[in-house]
Amino acid sequence: MDIVIEKIAYPGKSLARIDGKVVFTDHGLPGEKVKVSVIKEKKNYILARTIKNISFSPLRRETRCDHYRICSPYQYIDYDEQVKIKKQQILEAFGHDLKIDPVDIIFRNSPKIWGYRNKITLKVIHENGKQRLAYNQLQARDRFAPVENCFLSPNLTNSFLAAFSKVISAGFIQGISQLVVKENSDNKLLAAVYYNSSFHAEKACAFFEPLGKDFPHLNLICIDKDSSSRTVICGTDFLVETVSGMSFNIGAESFFQVNTPSLVNLSDDLKKNIPFNKNMVLADLYCGIGTFGILLSSKVKQVIGVESEDENFYFMKQNIAANNAANFTPYLSDCKKYINSLSLKKVDVAIIDPPRKGLDPDVCNALKRSGLPVIVYISCDLATLIRDLKILLPSYKIKNIFGYDFYPHTPHIETMVILALEDLS
């Protein structure tokens, strides 16, 4: 079946129509004619796979990663066109789903479009008697694509991946299953090797120790997937990142935005668009290692940070101390359990940065009833953001919408929406 692509719909499917029916396929740019095979036909739409291009858009680009369909399926699209697509998807989501039209959106391109990811997670697979690093194939837990390097990662990270691959291919290390590598702005690395019960720590240490000599700023740890116990091979079990003059300790399992320069852009927009003052109380919900609360702590009277993950909370307390944020009070709690006490704290501004699944309905409804003057919703999933805004908007007005390309060459969009009960001044 031949179709002509109309647009790229969120989250990344190429959309066409045939006989009045919508067709979703992959790897096609607006205006291109492609041949597809049908995967599944539903009542209102068809799912298909692109077999070949019959015509080509001038906006099509050569891809860099062999595995790009897994790590960054927009690599074949000119970067400026990627930005245009993402901004249009935000406009359509707010206009079509929330009936807010027109919407004024400020969109920030990524300062870096290659080598921007400060974290990569790879499986360790066994293939022909050897071990290799790999990504999971799309929608497949038991099929893998070997990875030698990834152009979304910085050069030093890729050099380490090559060295690590050489180590594990030279001698079989029983029990290792996953590698996580993080790199900070000072080109220092934190590598976490995950293992199971068949792992022999002493033997593995002997294999991994030479990596510390080749990478003098390497922090390398081994983590038991079952017990979470850790063995430090070299360096420490955390990495230090600096954002806008603030210092953050980041653990192997700590949440931190993957694109540090874009995080700075978002933080700057927060400071410029909310009139913080020394009488305000700020709530930083789903606060991870305390990033936003610490960055804004000098501008307000008090920060309340709520985080449910133990490792995030552990490093948040370290970060509060390291940055002398004495007005930051941390709480280890699920937001669902804590949210109803927020009104007792006389909070003026709440920043919420939930995981991809968005807000729990109880949290969303509590925020709606809270009477908080300002809510800042930061989201990495446009669909769950729109779902939650449908609950919040009857009580709040949208004051600003920002889009950020935290993830160049992927369909993912970071969005920040500032909501207020009344005009901000």
Report the SS3 class of residue 284.
strand
User: Which residues touch 128 (CB under 8 Å, ≥6 apart)?
Assistant: none
Sheet of 230-234: strand order equals: 144-146, 130-136, 119-127, 176-183, 189-195, 218-224, 230-234
Contact 307, 332 (CB under 8 A): yes
Confidence at 114, pLDDT banded by 50, 70, 90: very high
| Residue-level pLDDT at 133 | 95
Average pLDDT of span 121-137: 89
pLDDT for 341 = 80
Which is higher by pLDDT, 394 or 173?
394
Closest CA to 275 of 171, 418, 134, 148: 418
Q: Is the pLDDT of residue 141 over 90?
A: no
Task: Inform me whether the pLDDT recorded for 411 exceeds 90.
Answer: yes
- Count of alpha carbons within 13 angstroms of residue 147, beta-carbon side: 32
**Residue 415 and residue 392 in contact, taking contact as beta carbons nearer than 8 Å:** no
What sign does the dihedral 357-264-289-364 (CA atoms) show? negative
Question: CA–CA separation, 254 vs 251, rounded Å?
Answer: 5
> Looking at residue 425, what is its pLDDT?
55
Looking at residue 229, the DSSP 8-state letter turns out to be -
Whether the pLDDT of residue 101 is over 80: the answer is no
Residue 413's pLDDT band (boundaries 50, 70, 90)?
very high
Summarised one tens digit per residue, pLDDT across range 155-213 is 999 999 999 999 888 766 778 889 999 999 999 999 999 988 766 666 667 778 889 88
Percentage of the chain surpassing pLDDT 90?
77
What are the E-state strand segments in 328-380? Answer: 328-332, 349-352, 374-379
* Cβ neighbours, 10 Å, residue 313: 21
What pLDDT, on a 0 to 100 scale, did the predictor assign at position 172? 64
Task: Please give the C-alpha separations between residue 134 and each of 148, 205, 237, 298, 408, in angstroms, as whole numbers.
Answer: 8, 22, 24, 43, 21
- What domains can be seen in the chain, in order of their start residue? 1-59 (2.40.50.140), 95-111+253-420 (3.40.50.150), 119-240 (2.40.50.1070)
Which pLDDT does position 364 carry in this prediction? Answer: 94
Which are the contacts of 90, defined by CB distance < 8 A and separation ≥ 6? 103, 105, 107, 382, 401, 403, 413, 415
What is the reported pLDDT for 203?
Answer: 67
Is pLDDT at 140 greater than 80 in this prediction?
A: no
Q: How far apart are the first and last CA of the chain?
A: 56
Question: What pLDDT does 272 receive?
Answer: 96
d(CA 43, CA 77): 31
Q: What is the mean pLDDT of the chain?
A: 92
pLDDT in tens, 255-289: 999 999 999 999 999 999 999 999 999 999 999 99
The pLDDT tens digits for 310-366 are: 999 999 999 999 999 999 999 999 999 888 887 777 899 999 999 999 999 999 999
DSSP-derived secondary structure letter, 298: G
Structure confidence at residue 381 as a pLDDT band (50, 70, 90): very high
pLDDT score at 226? 82
**Angstrom distance (rounded) from CA 112 to CA 266:** 15
Note the pLDDT of residue 225: 84
pLDDT at 96: 87
Residue 263 CA, chain-centre distance (Å), reads 11
